[in-house]
Amino acid sequence: MMAAPAKNISSWRLNAAETSELEARVAKGEEHAAVKRELQTKKAEACEARKRAAQAVSTSAAAGAPAGKRAKTGAAAAAAASPSPDQDATNATYYKEVQADIQRILAEFPGMEKEKPMQLTECAGTGVQEAFCREKGESALKTHKVYRASISVWWLNVFSSATPGVPMSRKRTLDMSEHFYPNGAPSFMTSQMVECQVTNADLAAEPNGLQMVSPEEIVHALLAGCARSIQKSPNWQSHKDKWRMVLLSIPCAFLLMQQSELRVAAFNRRQAVLQQHESLSRTGMQTVIEIAHLRSMLEAANPAAQKMNHSQVASELVKMGLKSVVSGRKADEDDAGTVSPNLVGNCQTISKSVLVSAKCVEILLQMEQDFGTRSPFHTVAALTAIAKKPTNAFFREWSMEAIQDAVNQKLLHVMDITKSSLQGDKHHCGLIPLYETKWKVLNHFWEELLPKSGMLSDDRALVKAKLTDHRTYREASGEADVSWMSRLKTSGLAAFELLQDIVYSKKYDNQIRQAARQGGSPESVLEFSDISAGWDAVKGHLANEEAERKAAAKLERETAEVEEEENCVENLRKAPNNFPLNSTKYWRAVANQSMRTYITLQVEPKTQDMVASAVASSPLKDITSPIFTHLDPGLLGESWGPGQQARLRKKYLADDALLRKLLHGAMIGRGAQKKTPEGETTVPARGEIVIVHVGPDKSKQEVRAVFRLQSARKDAVLEAEEKELLIAYDDDSIRQRKKLTRGSYSLRSSLLFFSESPLIPDLIPEKQYETYNAWNTADLVGFVKALPPSALWTEKEEILTKERTVQPTEAAQAKNNEDPVLLSESVFSCQALPRNFTVNF
């Protein structure tokens, strides 16, 4: 059976340990791309192997039969005719690793598999125990049913397990190998003895294909240690001779036993070494499979009898000689070592509910691979909770996946996951009810809330596709490629963020636990104020989008009518030479061509770096002569004036962060030098003049603060050159703007000029204004006719966004509606400078 090659290798993300290995190998001179590809390939292949093993275990559990057959032949000629690792589908990948170790060893020791065990002599380079003797072995077996001697490792069938179908862990084997053979150093097997089965006392001169009774990982760890020494140890040449002696001096006990006794004996041998090395201990899943096989053996031995109950099975297992392990741990955490009716019943429940699911088995194998014996599912007690507590098979898989994801994301610690924390009690909500309730809320959104909310079907489908399960969600968020979010409307993005907070994070876990204890209905979860506020925000975005669609549809209809009459768009894009000289259409084409050539409209970026990037990539980058960067805080937003009436707005007070983002970003985009790692700059680039229009209030000090470092004193001298120009307004024009309310008012504002060198005469020559009776070296200009509010735009939210606009109260809106003139209020009610001031200035 050939494994299919792993797909989408480049999509696998490396964890912290793998990233450290990558950096270490690159530091030693290996190519980054090649090492990363190798690690990703290993990870993808390991995932595929787990899936195959999980499928084999679940198929076996569903059929009630062993998941693999024991190999009949040995490993004497491993390089030529080794038993196929694929005979045990559950451990096919594991055995291939063992086979690779054997091939690496035999390549270094050609013909070694034909050598005899080393004898005891007075010379160096010999064995450490009396070698196998056929006559002595037969005599001992007939007398005592056991014979101990030194054998060659190649006499053992390393591909045959006394308990076939029980998944083995390569990681745990490597852990044990490193424990007994650190850094590939050879060591004789003084603390372990390999026990093998013989069915009669007649032995061959050179036994071959011996069936191990003791845990097979003992020998697998030996082979892995030797192979690792060959591959990586710098001291291999000095270790080579001793490794040869170790491999040809394996202490072995030949046990005379029948085939029917083999499985029980293997189970007991593993129990005996439980505390010798944790890599030999059975996980909860392994124990379940063992008990299931033994129960099948008992029932198969008495086909005429009725099906045995749990007590009968436990009693028969004890009679067969199955032993228990006594330890100091809590009883509910140690039931895997106690042969009792409770253990038998739990194992049967787990086998029929958990192990029949390939997805559940895959998660168990992955958690064991990641955490070893610290895996939260290492015990039968935890698996019992997983088997019994979930409402159905789907919730069982969902809960296990949620727990695995929470551990991987460090939302849960493995030591906090126990049987009681999984199930919960009458006072506390367990993890399983918590995750079931989360899924119910998620499904309630898919089936009820979002379809009825008016969200676009494309947005619903995209959000649902990215929130289907934990793995899909992680691949679509965080550090992954999130470009797909740009396809969502604001409401879709808000819905995604709300659901991720509810389902895939701990933000609302306390509220969801309370709801779960009261039945876990989705409606009860949405009654909590902070969650309902999030849903209300989504509905608010949906209402805005619906209004925008209606407005866009209306505009489209109107535009279509205009286009039909005058073919306006086509004419606008035509060059001026397509129209009669000096005609209206000619000058309109000239204006449109100039607009496209010299003006670039840019949506306000969200960050300072994005502002700098936008400026740096605009046509401004090619201009080297003095250039103006103009900012009027009055154009950034609006705030309420007296009575919340139309056209009555106070000056918008832009915060320091917004001013720094816009000004520092534009200055850096034009080439200004950064003063701090945070991107602060205090002096414009050479040839650039930054102009800020401020009112008579304290906004001047706030603007000047932008040209100081945040760590500087408030009264520190500016590094940039500054010039202040006071603007005096025409009294009638200001009174026209105040016609709705009377009271004191101001007739002045200021323009602040910041530059790298003195403004006049370094950047601008001294000259007289064309419109106003003053020179540009003066600090006052007047009188300027203020811009009337009626001359400004009215699409407030489309320009400023909802965050920087205000809405009147119901009472104020009713008052505004009484005057038809007030229905079309301006956006920038605080803006005062007329167009001709900027042009002529």
Rounded Cα distance, 130 and 249, in Å: 9
Nearest CA-CA partner of 377 in 325, 432, 434, 314: 432
How confident is the prediction for the chain on average, in pLDDT?
81
Residue 289 has a pLDDT of 85
- Band (pLDDT 50/70/90 cuts) for residue 440 is very high
Residues composing the chain: 841
Q: DSSP code of 627?
A: E
What confidence score (pLDDT) does residue 402 get? Answer: 92
Burial (CB < 10 A; 0-12, 13-18, 19+), residue 765, is: exposed
Of the candidates 72, 94, 77, the residue with the CA atom closest to the CA atom of residue 85: 94
The CB density around residue 494, as the number of other CB atoms within 10 Å, is 19
pLDDT of residue 332: 45
Report the phi/psi class of residue 574: left, alpha or beta, with left for phi > 0 and alpha for psi in -120 to 50. Answer: beta
pLDDT recorded at residue 697: 64
> Measured between alpha carbons, how far is 685 from 755 in angstroms, rounded to an integer?
8
pLDDT at 807 over 80: no
Whether 461 and 467 have beta carbons less than 8 Å apart is answered as: no
To the nearest 10°, report the CA torsion of 676, 680, 686, 689: -170
The confidence band for 275, taking pLDDT boundaries of 50, 70 and 90, is: very low
pLDDT recorded at residue 644:
58
Instruction: Please tell me the least confidently modeled range out of 148-162, 565-579, 598-612, 725-739.
Output: 565-579
pLDDT, position 828: 53
d(CA 208, CA 154): 8
Confidence of residue 121 (pLDDT cuts 50, 70, 90): low
Among 77-91, 316-330, 708-722, top mean pLDDT goes to 708-722
Is pLDDT at 343 greater than 70 in this prediction?
A: yes
* Arithmetic mean of pLDDT, 199-218: 88
Neighbours of 241 (CB within 10 A): 12
- pLDDT for position 536: 92
- Angle separating helix axes 490-503 and 529-566, nearest 10 degrees: 160
| Residue 238 vs residue 801, higher pLDDT | 238
DSSP state letters, 379-424:
SHHHHHHHHHSSSSHHHHHHHHHHHHHHHHTTSS-GGG--HHHHHB
**Better pLDDT: 812 or 96:** 96
Q: What is the pLDDT of residues 507-530, one digit of tens each?
A: 999 999 999 888 888 999 999 999
Mean pLDDT computed over 668-687? 88
CB atoms within 10 A of CB 67: 24
- ∠ Cα 414 419 423 (to 5°): 110
Bridge-based pairing of strands 639-640 and 721-729 is unpaired
Structure tokens at 162: 């006394």
| Residues facing 628 on adjacent strands | 689
Highest mean pLDDT: which of 450-459, 618-627, 628-637?
450-459
Assess whether pLDDT exceeds 90 at residue 223: yes
Amino acid (one-letter) located at 529:
S
Q: Is the sign of the CA dihedral 793, 799, 805, 807 positive or negative?
A: positive
Cα 273 to Cα 286: distance, rounded to the nearest angstrom: 15
Out of 201-210, 320-329, 824-833, give the one with best mean pLDDT: 201-210
Residue 689, strand partner residues? 628, 755
Look at residue 68 and tell me whether its pLDDT is greater than 50.
no
Please determine, for residue 13, whether its predicted confidence score (pLDDT) is greater than 90.
Answer: no
Please give the radius of gyration of the chain, using alpha carbons only, rounded to the nearest integer. Answer: 40
pLDDT of residue 495: 92
The structure tokens listed for 438 are: 């989360």
Residue 201: pLDDT band by 50, 70, 90 thresholds?
confident
Percent of the chain residues topping a pLDDT of 90: 19
Cα–Cα distance, 429 to 389 (Å, whole number): 12
Determine the pLDDT at residue 329: 45
Hey, what are 363's tokens? Answer: 């998660």
For the cut 80, the answer to whether the pLDDT of residue 78 exceeds it is no
Q: Report, as an integer, the average pLDDT of 772-801.
A: 75
Task: Indicate whether 639 pLDDT > 50.
Answer: yes
DSSP 233: -
**Considering only CA atoms, which of 737, 731, 831, 742 is closest in space to residue 784?**
731
Residue 838's pLDDT band, with cuts at 50, 70 and 90, is low
* pLDDT of the residue at 698: 57
pLDDT of residue 650: 62
CA distance linking residue 290 with residue 307, whole number of Å: 19
Cα(first)–Cα(last) distance of the chain, in Å?
83
Residue 15, pLDDT > 80, answer: no
Residue 191 and residue 200: Cα distance in Å, rounded?
A: 27
Q: Where does the pLDDT of residue 70 fall: very low under 50, low under 70, confident under 90, or very high at 90 and above?
A: very low
Please report, to the nearest 10 degrees, the dihedral formed by the alpha carbons of residues 542, 547, 548, 550 taken in order.
Answer: 130
Q: So what's the pLDDT on residue 328?
A: 39
Confidence of residue 829 (pLDDT cuts 50, 70, 90): low
- In this predicted structure, the answer to whether residue 642 has a pLDDT above a threshold of 80 is no
CA distance 182 to 215: 20
> Is residue 549 pLDDT above 80, yes or no?
yes
Task: State phi, psi for 835 to the nearest 5 degrees.
Answer: -65, -45
Confidence at residue 793, expressed as pLDDT on a 0 to 100 scale: 56
Question: DSSP 3-state assignment of 18?
Answer: helix
Distance CA 556, CA 786 (A): 35
Angle at 654 between CA 649 and CA 659, to 5 degrees: 150
Higher-pLDDT residue of 538 and 280 is: 538
Q: Say if residues 157 and 210 touch (Cβ distance below 8 Å).
A: yes
479 pLDDT exceeds 80? no
Q: Does 399 score more than 50 pLDDT?
A: yes
Write down the pLDDT at residue 220. Answer: 94
Strands 780-784 and 721-729: parallel
Please tell me the distance from the alpha carbon of residue 492 to that of residue 488, in angstroms, as a whole number.
Answer: 5
Please give the average per-residue pLDDT across 462-467, as a whole number: 90
Where residue 183 falls (left for φ over 0; alpha for ψ -120 to 50; beta otherwise) is left
DSSP 8-state secondary structure symbol assigned to residue 516: H
